Amino acid sequence: MTQLYWCAPFLYLHGDPPKKPLVPSGPKIQSNEQKNVVQVRTFQDLLKDEYDEDLFEYYSTSQLVLASLDGSVENFGPPAVYTSLDPSPDQKYLLISSIHRPYSFIVPCGRFPKKVDLWTADGKFVRELCDLPLAENIPIAFNSVRKGMRSINWRADKPSTLYWVETQDGGDAKVEVSPRDIVYTQPADPLDGEQVETLHQLDLRYGGISWCDDSLALVYESWYKTRRTRTWVISPGLKDASPRILFDRSSEDVYSDPGSPMMRRTPAGTYIIAKMNKEKDSGTYVLLNGRGATPAGNIPFLDLFDIITGSKERIWESDKEKYYETVVALMSDQAEGDLYIDQLKILTSKESKTENTQYYLQSWPDKKACQITDFPHPYPQLASLQKEMIRYQRKDGVQLTATLYLPPGYDPSKDGPLPCLFWSYPGEFKSKEAAGQVRGSPNEFSGIGSTSPLLWLARRFAILSGPTIPIIGEGDKEANDSYVEQLVGSAEAAVEEVVQRGVAHPNKIAVGGHSYGAFMTANLLAHAPHLFCCGIARSGAYNRTLTPFGFQNEERTLWEAANTYVEMSPFMSANKIMKPILIIHGEEDDNSGTLTMQSDRFFSALKGHGALCRLVVLPFESHGYAARESIMHVLWETDRWLEKHCVNSSDVVADLDACKDVKDSEIKKAIPASGGGGAEQDGVASEGLHVIQRSSLW
């Protein structure tokens, strides 16, 4: 009889939701009389009072149910705020996580007290693994973690063996200690008194394990401050085998990325490293699937890698001339038995600049590819768009990259320069060499999302997509201490390149971005007004004093780096913004740091200095925009702004020429609102459950 586990909402079982009191029961009180150091980032959608706590508990409480396909149902355990239920590979045990009171008003639910229990599959309690206290004091430094057991999981290669990690530095990344993390393992139900076993010790922060069998597993660790990442080879079932480092490299150095091991499905439905065999060869081989970053762009590959000797053989590689191909999955992973290289079968994807992604089955030994999809072009009107990955140099010698898109049929010698939309997002690096490496491929299909800047190819714009804007802090230097200087230098180099090519009109270049890209946009209009005619800033944060305990990749607090916080904030330079700026924000933005209030206050500051600006707040929208009405309105607002202030504004040329003659320190007066702004319109270490998806915002 097949059984299913079901998490039934408990609200159906215990009456109406709590009613909000007509008057408060008393003042809202938060206290730190113990003088604890509690630094938290600007989390959104937190509980605010006792009523919120009751409401959260009411809607989050559920009852686990054991249901059979014959229709019988049986309650399983007590009602609780369950967050996960994970059966063991042999289906004999359940790993059940829940959260409980006391809740918090300053951190999200992922940091509430957490209880992890072990149950049998038929509903019998085995033991409590941990009951972690409220975690309000996790340090803000990157790589800081919660104290106690974390990352509790089942070994994918065993029937019912648990493993987890415990920090040795109190969770504080600033504490120097060795080891920093320890990985432990133990059978689910240690009937014979098996003790907790130390599996591996790490000096960096634990980053996960890829399991294979008792003779092979890969353990990952990394450290953000130095960008160091290491991969260890361990033999979990061999007591005498010493761990050894397989890879030790910089996470920023994409050229040295060896790839990731291909995984195979087991009869239990878990995934383990696919260990490969070669005829008449007793070596231990795995398949490494890599992006293949090179100075010419990404050329994905599949290597047959000898774990023992470190030697490798490239058995598959993407086309380099016209197409971009990737290995999607291993298809020859039989439920049982060894895998042989001459019986290998993989699923690959293939695309080009103008041809939609298609999927193929490729089989060894002849490597014959069989196409299994025939997806049509999603937007045939732009099928013949022109795409080029361009390289250019910043004044300090850093190599930069961008993707230049031109409309179908465009000829610069006949049609002349076009209006241009510059759309980007800055990134932080520790070295100039890594910052200058090429990421991406010139042969990738040009996917166009619902609010993508590429839509304006249909309006005869040149699009400079993703020009790299590296903010570099080498050695002990902090990258953001020279943020404005490096930002402007990167933008100047990009603008100079497209103007020099004759594809962009120097007086008709608009700048835009989403989130940290919106922050970039506002800063460029404040500090490089001679480069751009207008800006579009979506869902950004503009006043860093409102995110005092760090933001983006900044670890220092406002009090540790006050000058940097102020100088980076375009809010503090609102009096310098002389170009039209369109500000768009979701009314319910839940992304840490980008409160909707940021756009409200930035708009007020701009308006107070007579800047030509417009604020659009989208009802019910979060950090990204989902509703059809919202998306269509964002497109309309953006198109209107670009047509008015980039393509057709009579003031554009005069305003740009004026800015070129004015030094940054002399910019005091904003463009008068009579330039035509139209009517004002008033209205994202992980915590808890979350979903990471490929952004449609680019």
pLDDT at residue number 68: 84
Residue-by-residue DSSP string for 373-434:
--PPPS-GGGTT-EEEEEEEE-TTS-EEEEEEEE-TT--HHHH--EEEEEE---EEES-HHH
> Domain end: 137, 169, 203, which one?
137
Rounded Cα–Cα distance for residues 201 and 180 (Å): 8
Tokens of 451: 């609010």
Residue 488 is assigned to a structural domain of this protein: yes
Looking at residue 494, its amino acid is A
> Domain end: 107, 137, 167, which one?
137
pLDDT band at 663 (very low <50, low <70, confident <90, very high): very low
Q: Is the pLDDT of residue 664 over 80?
A: no
Residue 247 is assigned to a structural domain of this protein: no
Residue 159 is assigned to a structural domain of this protein: no
The residue among 27 and 334 whose pLDDT is bigger is: 27
Q: Is the pLDDT of residue 643 over 50?
A: yes
φ and ψ of 56, to 5 deg: -60, -45
For residue 186, count CB atoms less than 10 angstroms from its CB and return exposed for 0-12, middle for 13-18, buried for 19 or more: middle
pLDDT at residue number 13: 59
Residue 226 is assigned to a structural domain of this protein: no
As a whole number, mean pLDDT of residues 402-419 equals 97
Rounded Cα–Cα distance for residues 338 and 336 (Å): 7
As a whole number, mean pLDDT of residues 293-304 equals 98
3-state secondary structure of 201: strand
Rounded Cα–Cα distance for residues 647 and 494 (Å): 20
φ and ψ of 427, to 5 deg: -140, 155
pLDDT at residue number 281: 77
**Cβ count within 10 A of residue 414:** 7
Q: What is the CA radius of gyration of the chain?
A: 28
14: annotated active-site residue: no
Phi-psi region of 440 (alpha: psi -120 to 50; beta: other; left: phi over 0): left
Q: Which residue out of 160, 515, 573, 649 is catalytically annotated?
A: 515
Q: For residue range 520-572, what is the model confidence (pLDDT) as tens digits?
A: 999 999 999 999 999 999 999 999 999 999 999 999 999 999 999 999 999 99
Strand 281-290 versus strand 275-278 pairing type: antiparallel
In percent, how much of the chain has pLDDT > 90? 82
Q: How far is CA 642 from CA 198, 448, 646, 682, in A?
A: 61, 19, 5, 20
Domain residues for 89? 1-21+36-137
Q: Which residue out of 157, 589, 651, 655 is catalytically annotated?
A: 589
| 530, 659 Cβ separation under 8 angstroms | yes
Residue 131 is assigned to a structural domain of this protein: yes
Q: Is the pLDDT of residue 666 over 90?
A: no
Residue 26 is assigned to a structural domain of this protein: no
pLDDT band at 72 (very low <50, low <70, confident <90, very high): confident
> Domain end: 137, 167, 185, which one?
137
Q: Is the pLDDT of residue 671 over 60?
A: no
Q: For residue range 518-534, what is the model confidence (pLDDT) as tens digits?
A: 999 999 999 999 999 99
Q: Which residue out of 623, 630, 645, 651 is catalytically annotated?
A: 623
pLDDT at residue number 276: 92
Q: For residue range 36-53, what is the model confidence (pLDDT) as tens digits?
A: 889 998 999 999 999 999
pLDDT at residue number 11: 57
The residue among 666 and 338 whose pLDDT is bigger is: 338
What CATH number does residue 469 fall under? Answer: 3.40.50.1820
5-9-15-17 Cα dihedral, nearest 10 degrees = 160
How high does pLDDT run on average in the chain? 91
Q: Mind spelling out the 3-state secondary structure of 548-598?
A: CCCECCECCCCCCCHHHHHHHCHHHHHHHCCCCEEEEEECCCCCCCCCHHH
Residue 127 is assigned to a structural domain of this protein: yes
Domain count, the chain: 2
pLDDT at residue number 674: 28
Residue 429 is assigned to a structural domain of this protein: yes
589: annotated active-site residue: yes
Q: Which of 65-74, 439-448, 647-656 has the highest mean pLDDT?
A: 439-448
